[in-house]
Structure 1
Amino acid sequence: MDAPPARRKSSIKPSRQTSSVLHRNKACLSCRARKTKCDAVKPICSSCKRLNPHTECKYDQPPKWLQAVVSLKSTHQPTHNTQITQTHTQTQTQTHRIKELELKLESLQSRLTDLRTAVAIQHATTKSNTGCPDTLPHSREDLQRPTILDHPHSFFPPQTHQYKNTIFNYHPEINSYNNHLITHPVLRVESPSPSVTSSIPDPAPSSPHHHHPLATQNLGDSSHLPLSEPNWYSHLPSRKVCKLLIKAFFNRPLAPFTLVEPVGLQSRLDLPIHDPRFPQPALIHAICATGSQYISRETLSPIYWCTPQGPHVHHAQWAERLLNAGITQLRDPRKLLELAEAAVLCCQYYTVVGKPLMIWKSLGCCIRLATLVGLHLNMNKNSPASLLQHTSDNMNGLEKVSFWPDGVELLDRPSDPHLQHYRTILWWYVFCCDKMCAAAGGFASTVDEKDSLIPISSSRLYRVHKQHERRAGGNTKEEQQEDWEFFSPGSPSFFFKHRTGDLGSLQLLIKTAILLGKVNTTVYRRSHPAKTAQEIQQEHESLSHLIWGLYHSIPACYKDPFKLTRYGQLDACLLSAHTFIHTSLIQLNEDLVCLDHHAPSEDGHLQICKLSGQLMMDWFLQLIQQKTLGLISVDLGQLLCGNPTLNFGLSVAMRTHCRLVAINRVYTPSARLELDALTFQIEHILSHLSKSPKMPLEGRIIELISGLLQAPYSLLPRSLLFPPLDPASSFASQQAPDQYGHESMKSNFALARLLTCSSL
């Protein structure tokens, strides 16, 4: 039997033996005693954790880095001071770890930014190589100022030689630009997320494509110089892009009605964001939301970030959230006034995209902001001693709180002219917004309707009281001088600086909006079963006197709805006011048409609807023909999207024409000339509207009117299609005309309500 082989000597090198001994020395004392394998995980290894997870492992000599994490315990029962020290050390370690993770996340975001920018550069380079210099508009001014980046730690991707040559070919002066760059300390301003004030989540974070792709490149060899602007909001594009969108908004023919002054707004964008005169970000977003729709995506994509939905969605979402946040945070009158402007501009934007619920929300937000301004100004006038008492009085509800003490009385004259200026503008504008909301079918009663007695074209803003009327020329020289300062061309008042018209056209718009609101309210209440024919007739006569009285009281300078402003543009405010008047006449008379016992030519209500509808159709045909406006181009769809009043007026006029088509087919089928003329006017306007790049409510109004034109018999009085059961009754012959005429138009009123809500 062979002897067993001799045991070989270990071939482990001395260095490996030393490492093995060192590894064994790293094991905890418990694993050494049990002679088990230890992974030396601090503060408790895996073996000890399985046996007793509540105790920590002990080691001979822990490393230095371990002392910052785990405190050594000299005894099994540590003292109270030792526990406090250990807790404080762990808190510091967690804070340090959080900072490290934030830096890592920021670096990853910067890397993502670089990748997105590189894709944009390749896209722009491809366009520039194809010989399209128009894809780089306004790039010179972008390169003259440090560009705003979303993250201060962003790194710039390397430039390709071909793209770099393209830049210098377009702008030779860029070589000297790097020598004049000023290094600013990077200070990132984080605006609070307004998601806590809105049920809708925050929009997507800002993208590097908010800015011009040229500006995010290395300029020369100065990649170490920061090109980001020290103070700017991360959810806004660069100042240059904002100015471009604002300019596009105000340069449109028949621009939407607003109190914002274009030149002043663009100049205030150059101020630091901490400056009290800097415009509110909500106002900038609201203007950019509409302005970005006035520029084609092909023109905007090289210089601005475009999502699949378009940049206007990003701006609209942020405007809504900043409005909600401003209501709860801001109390400065000027800032609240700008928020009210932003709310109305959001209303006009949602008119374009066709979201009626968001329009109502924006109008309500504007009225609430105005109430806050009035309360704030009223509280500022009180002494500190009575401030608490005044605040407690106003906590009972808004029904007991006016905008300010003179909100429904005479406007007082405070010593501060700027305060009076803001109060005057805000009071008029909120009054108009409130009544426009009521005219749309709602029943807002924030402002007293007696304020409609303010005279048109008055040099002063005051109410006419029967018991206390002011005499003409009774003002003192000081008051006349003050009036001249407020309402002269050199005053800061928007009436003389903006294209929307002067004081008289705005007042006329307010008064006509009030009347339409009363008409809609009266027509709605007619359907109540308790209403008698006599009460309906009395309400009709009262409103008719108000409408015709207002029409005859219009000054001669405002009789022409196509009057041009001093800037040579159409006064959209005045045209909207005249449209309100004739829309009110149609709304008031159309459901009183009764053709049971006389011909259509003998019905006074139908003739009023016919004349008013034809007059408004002529106005819109004149807008299309562009003969007397002096404008380069007027797009009907853009006009209706930016002006809900004209949109509603055109809908009512075309609906009236469809009703006349149905009546002519029933009563005078041989009168083909008049029938063809009515049909041609409707089809002509619909054809122009269908060619527009933007249409109100995404073209749904075209489908509605086209359906009515094909089958207009639903607009006839119901008594013509379904006669009474006993027409020979004398009682029925005496009472049926008014009652059946009223009942027959209930369906038509429902259609009118649908058009009213959809147009806004």
Structure 2
Amino acid sequence: MSFQTSSFTSADSSFSTLPIISASLKTIDSPPEYNGLSSSHLSNPNSPATSRYQDGATVSRVSHLDDPRFPSHTMFPSTAVFNTTVRSSSEPSFGLDVMWPNWPPNLPEPELLRHLVEVFFVFHPHANRLFHGASFMSTLSLPPNHPKFPSPPVLHAICAIGSLYTAVVTSPPLPDFRESPPDEIFLQRQRIKEQRIDSFAEQQAKHARETADHLNSLGEDLFQVFQANIILSWFYWSHSRWVDVFLFSAHSMRLSVPLGLNMCPPFHSISNSERPASILPPARNVIEDEMRRNAFWLAYATERQHGCGNGWALSLDDQDVSQLLPVRGDQFEHGILVTPQDRQWAHTRDLLLVHPEKQTDSFILSSEDV
């Protein structure tokens, strides 16, 4: 890291010899291509649990990550003070902090963004299933135009729900049931009467919706759009915005079908179509493959749990789900390949009664119960 000096002059003031930090970041190597769970594992129970990568190497129930453990980032104390103003990337930021010139608009500054992401991974029970924590945190250090940098809808959604776990940003107030009945689902009516400005969390949720809609129309980063919709469902659930929960959980389930997340080889649709079963490219490694599966089950659980309270028709029939259950959390973090012979399917007989000893944890059981 090197220091340079430059001068800045404006109509109001003059800044001379202003120190500017220039830093170079090492690009993270791309993982080798992963071909997914082979159907040969289904036909031959004695075949080893191996997967072939682009470079010809094979893995056998071992991690292909050097250090899959969650990095020990320094947490900000509760008394820390942040500038929560969302600054456009065109506005200058003076000081010694590193600011990318192409930082996405409407995102908080990098320091606050990292804080919100950290508290999300520390406190939300499903954060480390929807994402691979160590991999996600490392991508935050990349430049915003890097292909591995998280998509804006995901970051906006994490900022919105991260506000639940920190006092440095503002959140929506709790609903006042003296003004509206507890079973009121259209809380926006009361919101209009209050005439208050949006909190930081509400602003970020709106930005997440806008950027997700934009990427949806372009067909870009669709899996990250899927993840953002799940997080927004959690955010709206925490604030009793039941209409938004219904719409976003339903959208997640419908989006899972063209993404091919509701099925796993060798199962496929019986219809003849020129379109592939999934418009997503193949998963590059075990972690990405299992992360897609985890995301489907989280979206499935959110919609099923919400549907229990209203009796409305669901967005995806159980007969259209031919997916494996998730793997254990430690296997997901370490990128360990688990073959179909060692795990259960959504349609496995006696699924609710039989639990394999080596494939049982709280997340797997919760996926079975819904």
Taking structure 2 as the reference length, what is the TM-score of the superposition? 0.54
Give 1:422 deviation, angstroms.
4.4
> Aligned to 1:274, what secondary structure does the other structure show?
coil
Aligned length: 260
Indicate if the aligned counterparts of 1:246 and 1:288 stay in contact, CA closer than 8 A: yes
Indicate if the aligned counterparts of 1:282 and 1:319 stay in contact, CA closer than 8 A: yes
Match of 2:243 in 1: 357
For residues 370 and 257 of structure 1, the distance between their equivalents in structure 2, rounded to whole angstroms, comes to 20
> Aligned to 1:553, what secondary structure does the other structure show?
coil
Q: Does 1:552 align with 2:353?
A: yes
Give 1:361 deviation, angstroms.
1.7
Indicate if the aligned counterparts of 1:434 and 1:445 stay in contact, CA closer than 8 A: no
Q: Residues 601-750 of structure 1 correspond to what in structure 2 (within 5 A)? A: none
| Closer/same/farther in 2, CA of residues 256 and 227 from structure 1, 3 Å limit | closer
Indicate if the aligned counterparts of 2:290 and 2:326 stay in contact, CA closer than 8 A: no
> Aligned to 1:209, what secondary structure does the other structure show?
coil
For residues 344 and 235 of structure 1, the distance between their equivalents in structure 2, rounded to whole angstroms, comes to 21
Which residue of 317, 337, 341 corresponds with 2:223? 337
| Closer/same/farther in 2, CA of residues 242 and 155 from structure 1, 3 Å limit | farther
Indicate if the aligned counterparts of 2:327 and 2:364 stay in contact, CA closer than 8 A: no
Q: Aligned AA for 2:214?
A: A
Cα-Cα RMSD: 5.0
Give 1:553 deviation, angstroms.
1.0
Q: Aligned AA for 1:210?
A: V
Match of 2:182 in 1: none
| Closer/same/farther in 2, CA of residues 145 and 253 from structure 1, 3 Å limit | farther
Give 1:318 deviation, angstroms.
0.7
> Aligned to 2:259, what secondary structure does the other structure show?
helix
For residues 253 and 437 of structure 1, the distance between their equivalents in structure 2, rounded to whole angstroms, comes to 18
Indicate if the aligned counterparts of 1:351 and 1:359 stay in contact, CA closer than 8 A: yes
Q: Does 1:326 align with 2:215?
A: yes
Indicate if the aligned counterparts of 1:283 and 1:339 stay in contact, CA closer than 8 A: yes
Indicate if the aligned counterparts of 2:163 and 2:201 stay in contact, CA closer than 8 A: yes
Higher strand share: 2
Indicate if the aligned counterparts of 1:157 and 1:217 stay in contact, CA closer than 8 A: no
Q: Does 1:262 align with 2:121?
A: no
For residues 120 and 11 of structure 2, the distance between their equivalents in structure 1, rounded to whole angstroms, comes to 33
Q: Does 1:444 align with 2:314?
A: yes
Deviations 1:81-137 (A, max 9, x none): xxxxxxxxxxxxxxxxxxxxxxxxxxxxxxxxxxxxxxxxxxxxxxxxxxxxxxxxx
Q: Aligned AA for 1:443?
A: A
Indicate if the aligned counterparts of 2:287 and 2:335 stay in contact, CA closer than 8 A: no
Indicate if the aligned counterparts of 2:157 and 2:208 stay in contact, CA closer than 8 A: yes
Indicate if the aligned counterparts of 1:340 and 1:366 stay in contact, CA closer than 8 A: yes
Match of 2:85 in 1: 209
Which residue of 223, 228, 232 corresponds with 2:103? 232
Of structures 1 and 2, the one scoring higher in RCO (CA 8 A, sep 6+) is 2
For residues 263 and 294 of structure 1, the distance between their equivalents in structure 2, rounded to whole angstroms, comes to 20
Match of 2:160 in 1: 289
Give 1:326 deviation, angstroms.
1.5
Q: Aligned AA for 2:86?
A: H
Greater C-alpha radius of gyration: 1
For residues 277 and 558 of structure 1, the distance between their equivalents in structure 2, rounded to whole angstroms, comes to 31
| Closer/same/farther in 2, CA of residues 556 and 243 from structure 1, 3 Å limit | same
> Aligned to 1:373, what secondary structure does the other structure show?
coil
Indicate if the aligned counterparts of 2:120 and 2:162 stay in contact, CA closer than 8 A: yes
Indicate if the aligned counterparts of 2:99 and 2:110 stay in contact, CA closer than 8 A: no
Give 1:281 deviation, angstroms.
0.3
Higher helix share: 1
For residues 370 and 345 of structure 1, the distance between their equivalents in structure 2, rounded to whole angstroms, comes to 15
Q: Residues 160-179 of structure 1 correspond to what in structure 2 (within 5 A)? A: 178-179=18-19
Q: Residues 132-281 of structure 1 correspond to what in structure 2 (within 5 A)? A: 178-179=18-19, 181-182=21-22, 209-210=85-86, 216-217=93-94, 229-252=100-123, 254=125, 258-281=129-152
Q: Residues 382-531 of structure 1 correspond to what in structure 2 (within 5 A)? A: 391=274, 403=278, 418=284, 422=288, 425-427=291-293, 429-430=295-296, 433-434=299-300, 436-438=302-304, 440=307, 441-444=311-314, 446=316, 449=319, 451=321, 490-491=334-335
Give 1:429 deviation, angstroms.
3.4
Give 1:433 deviation, angstroms.
2.4
For residues 227 and 154 of structure 1, the distance between their equivalents in structure 2, rounded to whole angstroms, comes to 20
Deviations 1:311-364 (A, max 9, x none): 101110011111211111124xxx221111111010000001111111122123
Give 1:435 deviation, angstroms.
6.0
| Closer/same/farther in 2, CA of residues 271 and 351 from structure 1, 3 Å limit | same
> Aligned to 2:256, what secondary structure does the other structure show?
helix
Give 1:374 deviation, angstroms.
3.5
Deviations 1:707-736 (A, max 9, x none): xxxxxxxxxxxxxxxxxxxxxxxxxxxxxx
Taking structure 1 as the reference length, what is the TM-score of the superposition? 0.29
> Aligned to 2:161, what secondary structure does the other structure show?
helix
Q: Aligned AA for 2:225?
A: L
Indicate if the aligned counterparts of 1:156 and 1:216 stay in contact, CA closer than 8 A: no
| Closer/same/farther in 2, CA of residues 553 and 293 from structure 1, 3 Å limit | same
| Closer/same/farther in 2, CA of residues 421 and 348 from structure 1, 3 Å limit | same
Match of 2:173 in 1: none
- Identify unmatched segments of 5+ residues in structure 1: 1-143, 147-152, 160-176, 184-206, 220-225, 302-306, 376-388, 395-400, 405-413, 459-486, 496-502, 515-545, 564-570, 582-760
Indicate if the aligned counterparts of 1:290 and 1:349 stay in contact, CA closer than 8 A: yes
- Identify unmatched segments of 5+ residues in structure 2: 24-82, 171-195, 262-271
For residues 166 and 208 of structure 2, the distance between their equivalents in structure 1, rounded to whole angstroms, comes to 20
For residues 325 and 247 of structure 2, the distance between their equivalents in structure 1, rounded to whole angstroms, comes to 31
Identity of aligned residues (%): 18
